[in-house]
Amino acid sequence: MKPRFDATVHTPEDVFERQRLAAVHPQAWNNPQPSGRYQLVIVGAGPAGLAAAEEAAALGTRVALIERHLIGGTCFNTGCVPSKTLIRTANAYAEMREAARYGAQLPADIRVDFAAVMARVRRIRSHLTCTTSVRRLAASGVDVFFGQMRFEGVDSLSVNGQVLQFDKALVATGARPHIPDLPGLRQAGFLTNASVFDLTDLPPRLLVIGGGPLGCELAQAFQRLGSKVTIVQDLPLFLGHEERDAAQTLSDAFARDGIEVRLNTQATVVRLEAGEKVVDLVSADYRSTIKVDAILTGVGRRPNVQGLALEAAGVDYDEGSGIAVDDQLRTSNPRIYAAGDVCLAGKYTDIAEESARIVVRNALLGGRERLSERVVPWCTYTDPEIAHVGLYVREANARGIPIKTFTVPLHEIDRTITDSEEIGFVKIHIRDGSDTILGATIVSRHAGDMINEITLAMVAGIGLRTLAKVIHAYPTKTEAIREAAMAYNRTRLTPRVLARLHRWLAR
């Protein structure tokens, strides 16, 4: 008889882990001796802190970087990097099972070696962290400190009791998973993004609580790797902030994958019975109970603002929304800035990095750059991926901006048909009456790559009229973007314009 799933999770100690930890938090590391006042002290060495440190060091600034735990933060260690690595393997298995769809022979025996899957995750995570190792940072001129920090005053802080003076400081301490207040959850045990990548055994039955980006990505990945996944979301659709049609497409994809989708549903209580996690669910008046081997949660993320003594530095914050910043990312203390997840609603690596670069220029070079001027894309890496940039229709409506959407379903694009990847669409939102792009949503197996063309157009001020002139290599999926632009051009051929054209042609 197969032994019961062991729900305890320990970080595997293998060569990859040893390599990674040596890079991101070497045991033998001695904090440097500060040689006077720093021009910039950065608190937190996640994507935001690292981007700021690299930018500041490149300027020749005296810069210190303080990290409590691991260099690289959530993204590298417990977020984007391991999750995308895992998703790639999950998608490979999904394609194997769909072989017949591509006219290929269905492999006779599709067996998932989960330990090998996770070993690959750790190998690739370790490989990537080497590019941001502590020693490399130190070599580039950054004083790297490990330890607990707290502000001591408006221009000073301490790390493990050692005091650092600063001209300017950047708080980039990130965010952590928000554990729902669910009776019995802590006693029963649960996974979050911080522990799920340490698994070496596949949970046969997995409950995912929360339908945000990471919950959706991992629910699909684990289903494809062989878990029986149930996903519970207390809203009518997944990815609450995304467009309805995008979220609906995702729900359909989940159902095709065999995930048990429970929308408008809340988990109300968890209990352990004979080693199983028993979870009560309620949807309006419908009550049910499911038994699982593991629960993945961490719905939403909470900013890391505790234990920093922000009060001592005069930095205003809120436990829920994080550090209060203005559009130039200044806190209530003019010396101190914040960037990334600790202060921004959009908790994505690309936004975190960009906000940190803005801080460096504003804090050190007297810049007046504003975050709201940036065009920020993001993507949820489910299959299909869901990518967005700029305004949503509802935001435009709320601001009274007339908006029109040019929609191209991917089944109109030759390359998606040749690849049997017709599910999805490109929606480009323009200011009605002009060709100015306000935003876009793309749902496609490669939406994350496709959205960059729209971002480029928005940053460069390129409208749909110009995009319509851009020849796209045939056959490619990004032709959908040009198709939307050409549809715009056809709307300019009003009956009046056409009548004049016909008269002219008939001369």
Q: Which residue do the tokens 């205003």 mark?
A: 316
CB of 353 to other proteins, least distance (A): 32
- Considering only residues 92, 235, 272, 365, which one is a binding residue for other proteins as defined by CB under 8 A? 235
Range in contact with other proteins (rule: CB under 8 A) among 146-154, 223-231, 290-298, 406-414: 406-414
b/e for 388-421, b at 16 or more Cβ within 10 A? Answer: bbbbbbeebeeeeeebbbbbbbbebbebbeeeeb
CB of 494 to other proteins, least distance (A): 11
- Beta-bridge partners for 177: 301
Is residue 17 within a helix (H) or strand (E), and if so which, with residue range?
Answer: helix 15-24
CB of 89 to other proteins, least distance (A): 23
CB of 240 to other proteins, least distance (A): 11
Range in contact with other proteins (rule: CB under 8 A) among 124-132, 158-166, 365-373, 393-401: 393-401
Range in contact with other proteins (rule: CB under 8 A) among 25-33, 372-380, 455-463, 488-496: 488-496
Q: Is 159 exposed, middle or buried (0-12, 13-18, 19+ CB in 10 A)?
A: buried
Please answer whether residues 141 and 53 qualify as being in contact, where contact means their C-beta atoms are separated by less than 8 angstroms. no
Is 220 near other proteins (CB under 8 A)? no
CA 25 vs. chain centroid, Å, equals 24
- Considering only residues 411, 465, 469, 492, which one is a binding residue for other proteins as defined by CB under 8 A? 411
Q: Which is nearer to other proteins, 291 or 394 (CB)?
A: 394
DSSP label of 436: -
Q: Which is nearer to other proteins, 255 or 459 (CB)?
A: 255
- Considering only residues 405, 436, 452, 476, which one is a binding residue for other proteins as defined by CB under 8 A? 405
Q: Determine the Cα–Cα distance for residues 254 and 257; give it in Å rounded to an integer.
A: 5
- Considering only residues 95, 167, 245, 276, which one is a binding residue for other proteins as defined by CB under 8 A? 245
Quick one: tokens of 295? 């629960």
b/e for 67-78, b at 16 or more Cβ within 10 A? Answer: bbebbbbbbbbb
Is 422 near other proteins (CB under 8 A)? yes
Q: Which is nearer to other proteins, 15 or 501 (CB)?
A: 501
Range in contact with other proteins (rule: CB under 8 A) among 24-32, 324-332, 455-463, 483-491: 483-491
Q: Report in angstroms the alpha-carbon separations of 387 from 208, 353, 369, 383, 450.
A: 22, 18, 25, 11, 8
Q: Which is nearer to other proteins, 75 or 464 (CB)?
A: 464
b/e for 316-352, b at 16 or more Cβ within 10 A? Answer: ebeeeebbebeebbbbebebbbbbbbbbbeebbbbbb
Q: From start to end of 293-333, where are the E strands?
A: 294-296, 301-303, 317-318, 322-323
Q: How many residues bind other proteins (CB under 8 A)?
A: 33
Helices (H), 285-431: 349-364, 393-398, 414-418
Q: Which is nearer to other proteins, 115 or 493 (CB)?
A: 493
- Considering only residues 152, 412, 419, 449, which one is a binding residue for other proteins as defined by CB under 8 A? 412
Range in contact with other proteins (rule: CB under 8 A) among 35-43, 250-258, 290-298, 329-337: 250-258
Is 244 near other proteins (CB under 8 A)? yes
CB of 285 to other proteins, least distance (A): 3
Is residue 38 within a helix (H) or strand (E), and if so which, with residue range?
Answer: strand 38-43
Is 404 near other proteins (CB under 8 A)? yes
Name the CA dihedral angle for 395, 401, 406, 409, rounded to a multiple of 10 degrees: 10
| Binders of other proteins in range 273-292 (CB under 8 A) | 284-285
Q: Reply yes or no: is the peptide bond before residue 26 cis, omega within 30 of 0.
A: no
Sign of CA dihedral 444, 446, 452, 457: negative
Q: Which is nearer to other proteins, 18 or 411 (CB)?
A: 411
Sign of CA dihedral 314, 316, 320, 322: negative
| Binders of other proteins in range 255-274 (CB under 8 A) | 255-256, 264
Is 252 near other proteins (CB under 8 A)? yes
Q: Which is nearer to other proteins, 57 or 410 (CB)?
A: 410
Residues that bind other proteins (CB under 8 A): 235-236, 244-245, 248-249, 252, 255-256, 264, 284-285, 393-394, 397-398, 402-407, 409, 411-412, 422, 425, 427, 432, 487-488, 490-491
